Amino acid sequence: MQSFFYDIAVIGGGASGLAAAIEAKQYGGANCHIAVIEKNSRLGKKILATGNGRCNLGNIEENKSSHYSGSCVDLIEPLFNKFEGSESFFKSLGVICKSDSGRLYPYSNHAASVLDALRFQLNDLNVDVFTDTEVVNLKYKLGLWEISTNSNSDLKKINTKKVIISCGGKAAPMFGTDGNLYKVLKSINNYFTPIRPALCPAYTDPLMIKGLKGIRAIGKVSLYNSENKLICSDTGEVQFTDKTLSGICVFNLAAFAKEKNMYIQFDLLPHLKESEVSELLWEIYAQRSAWSIADMLSGIFQKKMCPALFKSSKISTDLNLPVYKLNPYDIEKLTKTIKAWKFPVLYFGDWTQAQTTSGGLARNEIDENLESKTCPGMYFSGEILDITGECGGYNLAWAWCSGVCAARSAVDSLKKG
C-alpha cells in the first residue's frame, strides 16, 4: 500500500473539482500541495458531453438565484459575488466565450477547449492527479483526513489536512457519478435531502402523443399536482417522442416533481387569452370553412398535431370533413385544449437520462464558505450540494463558482493554521 500526504485533496476530477484544484494551487501558492482524485481513467469525462459537445459553460444570468432551486439557493448570490464569473474564469485560462441568447459557450464550439484548458492548467501548476482511483472511505484521524481508495493498480491511502468533496451527484452514471460516496458521507454524519433525477424528459401516456413523434411546438408548460396546484412553469419548445415530452422547458420541471400523479399542462398560445384563442378559431373557421378539418389549424401548428388536438378535445369527427361541420361546442373544446392541453406524468426520466441531481447535501450542514459544520476541514462543491440549476449553463456555472469558493475557504483555513 502506498501512502501520500497533501495539504488539500479534491475528490472528483469533474467540473467543480478541476476548478477547485486550480484555484487551491493558485491561491495557496507553490508550497501548497494539492491532489485531485478521480475514479475514471480520464479527468472531466462529463464535461466533454455537456451542451451536446459544445459545453454551455455559463450564462449571463448565472449569478441570479431565481435560476436555481434547493436548500442551498441562498448561497448563490454571495458566492457568485466572490467569483469572477464563468466567462472571466475561462478567459484567465485562455478560453474565449461567446453568448447565444445569454448562454455562454467556448468560441470554438467544442467542449474539448474547456477541458483542455483545465487539464493543462493543472499540469502547469504541478497539481498531482490520481486517475483510476476511486475513493471508498474517509476517516478523520489526529487532525487529518485519511482517504482510502480502490485503485486499479494498487491500494492507496491519501492523508490530507483539508478535503474538498466534488464528486458530483447521481445523474449520468456512465460518466462516473454513480453516487457511491453518498453512503460514506452519510456514515460521517452528513445529512442529505432526498435526491431525484433532474433535467430529464417526462414520460406520459403514449396513446395521447401517438403520431406526434418528432414534432416541436412552442408554448408554456406548467407542472400541477394531483390537487391541481400549480408547482412551476416554463416556456420554450416542447419536443415530442413516442413516449415523452422533452425539451429544455420540460427538463426544467423535473426538479420539482416530488409527488405522484402530477400532470403537465401545455399552453400552445400563451400570449393569447382563452377568449382571444376562441376568436381566432372562429376567424379561421370562417376563412377555411370549406377546407378539411385536418388542415384547419395548419396556419398555427404543424399539421400532424391536428389529430392529437382533436382527440384530446374529445371531438369525434372525421378529419376529412369540411371545417363548417364543426359545431360551437367543438370550437370551445378545441380552445380549451389549445390553452390547457393536459398530459399525465407517469414519471420523469431515470438517472441515465438526467443531466443533474435534485437534492443533495443540505444547507444546514455547511457554512456560507461551503465548509462542513460537522466534519472539520471538509468542504463541498458542485452537484453534491442541494442545489439545481435550470438548463442553460447554470449547473456548470455553479460547479466552477462553488469549486473556486470552496478552494479559497480551504486555503484560508490552512493559512490560519
Which residues would be at the binding site for ligand FAD (CB under 6 A)? 11-17, 37-40, 45-46, 49-51, 55-56, 134-135, 166-168, 171-172, 176-177, 180-181, 355-356, 382-383, 393-396, 399
The pairing of beta strand 378-380 with beta strand 155-165: parallel
CA 402 to CA 60: how far, in whole Å? Answer: 17
For the chain, helix, strand, coil in percent to 5 are 35, 25, 40
Nearer to ligand FAD, 201 or 382 (CB): 382
CB of 257 to ligand FAD, least distance (A): 18
Q: In the numeric block, which cell numbers belong to residue 149?
A: 481508495
A 10 A CB-CB count for 367 gives 13
CB of 81 to ligand FAD, least distance (A): 20
Nearer to ligand FAD, 16 or 335 (CB): 16
Spacing of C-alpha 412 from chain mean position: 30
Among all chains, which residue has been given the C-alpha cell 373544446? 333
Collapsed DSSP state (helix, strand, coil) of residue 309: helix
Nearer to ligand FAD, 296 or 387 (CB): 387
Q: In the numeric block, which cell numbers belong to residue 53?
A: 459537445
What b/e string do you get for 353-365 counting C-beta neighbours within 10 Å, with b at 16 or more?
bbbbbbbbbbbeb
Nearer to ligand FAD, 265 or 395 (CB): 395
Nearer to ligand FAD, 277 or 387 (CB): 387
Among all chains, which residue has been given the C-alpha cell 441515465? 352
Angle subtended at Cα 98 by Cα 95 and Cα 104, rounded to the nearest 5 degrees:
90
Nearer to ligand FAD, 212 or 396 (CB): 396
In 3D, which of 129, 148, 146 has the Cα closest to residue 36?
A: 129
Residue 141's beta-bridge partner residues?
144
Nearer to ligand FAD, 16 or 265 (CB): 16
Nearer to ligand FAD, 56 or 204 (CB): 56
Nearer to ligand FAD, 335 or 355 (CB): 355
Residue nearest to ligand FAD (CB): 14
- Check residue 417 and report its DSSP letter: -
CA 13 to CA 121: how far, in whole Å? Answer: 13
CB of 327 to ligand FAD, least distance (A): 48
Nearer to ligand FAD, 138 or 345 (CB): 138
In 3D, which of 203, 298, 267 has the Cα closest to residue 241?
A: 203
CA 18 to CA 123: how far, in whole Å? Answer: 11
Under 8 Å between Cβ of 302 and 293: no
- The torsion defined by the Cα of 87, 92, 95 and 101, in degrees rounded to 10, comes to 10
Under 8 Å between Cβ of 140 and 4: no
